[in-house]
Amino acid sequence: MEATKKIRVLQTIRQGKIGGGESHVLDLVRYLDKGLFEPVVLSFTDGPMITSLGQLGVPAHVIHTEKAFDIKVWMKVKQFLKEQRMDIVHVHGTRANTNVLWAARCLDLPVIYTIHGWSFHDSLPSWNRKARIMAEKFITQRTRLNITVSDSNHQTGVRAFGRFKSLVVRNGVNLEKFNRFGDYPDVKALYGIPEHHLVIGYIVRITEQKDPLGMLRAYARVCSNFKDLTLLMIGEGDLKDAAVQLAKDLGISDRVIFDNFRQDVPAVLNAVDIYCLPSLWEGFPIGVLEAMAMGKAVIASDVDGTREAVEHEVTGLLVPPKDETALAAALERLIQDDVLRSRLAENAGKCVKANFDVRDMTHRIETVYQQMLAPLHD
91 shares its domain with 201: no
How far is 200 from 227, CA to CA, in rounded Å? Answer: 13
CA proximity to 152, closest of 127, 191, 107, 118: 118
The pLDDT tens digits of the residues spanning 9-50 come to: 999 998 877 777 888 999 999 999 999 999 999 999 998 889
Instruction: Tell whether 248 and 312 lie within a shared domain.
Output: yes
Q: Which residues of 227-259 are buried (b: 16+ CB within 10 A; e: fewer)?
A: eebbbbbbbebebbeebbebbeebebeebbbbe
pLDDT-derived band of residue 140, with 50, 70 and 90 as boundaries? very high
Q: Looking at this protein, which amino acid is placed at residue 186?
A: D
325 belongs to a structural domain: yes
Contact criterion met (CB below 8 Å) for 218 and 328? yes
Regarding whether 82 and 230 lie in a shared domain, the answer is no
- Are residues 73 and 222 part of one domain? no
Q: What is the pLDDT of residues 55-100, one digit of tens each?
A: 999 999 999 998 888 889 999 999 999 999 999 999 999 889 999 9
Number of domains in the chain: 2
Comparing 141 with 377, the larger pLDDT belongs to 141
pLDDT score of 112 more than 80: yes
- pLDDT, mean of residues 127-144: 94
In a domain, 178, yes or no: no
Which residues span the domain enclosing 70?
7-172+357-373
pLDDT band at 1 (very low <50, low <70, confident <90, very high): very low
Residue 2 lies in a domain: no
In order of 95, 222, 327, the CA distances from 200 in angstroms are 33, 11, 12
Residue 369: closest CA among 3, 5, 8: 8
Compute the Cα dihedral for 334, 339, 340, 346 and give only its sign: positive
Task: Find the mean pLDDT for residues 258-266.
Answer: 93
pTM of the predicted protein model: 0.91
Phi (first) and psi of residue 307, to 5 degrees: -70, -15
> How many other CB atoms sit within 10 Å of the CB of residue 346?
14
Cα–Cα distance between 312 and 300 in angstroms, integer? 9
Residue 2, pLDDT above cutoff 50: no
| Residue 3 pLDDT greater than 60, yes or no | no
CATH number of the domain bearing residue 294: 3.40.50.2000
* pLDDT tens sequence across 289-337: 999 999 999 999 999 899 999 999 999 999 999 999 999 999 999 999 9
Statement to judge: residues 18 and 100 lie in one domain: yes
Q: Is the pLDDT of residue 123 over 90?
A: no
> Quick one: 227 and 158 in the same domain?
no
pLDDT of residue 373 exceeding 90, the answer is no
Q: What is the mean pLDDT of residues 274-294?
A: 95
To the nearest whole number, what is the mean pLDDT of the chain? 94
Residue 180 lies in a domain: no
Stated length of the chain: 378
Q: Which residues make Cβ contacts (< 8 Å) with residue 276, sequence separation at least 6? A: 200, 201, 202, 215, 298, 299, 300, 327, 331
87 shares a domain with 26: yes
Please tell me the distance from the alpha carbon of residue 297 to that of residue 274, in angstroms, as a whole number.
5
How many whole angstroms separate alpha carbon 197 and alpha carbon 335?
11
125: in domain: yes
pLDDT at 20: 78
Per-residue confidence (pLDDT) for residue 375, from 0 to 100 = 61
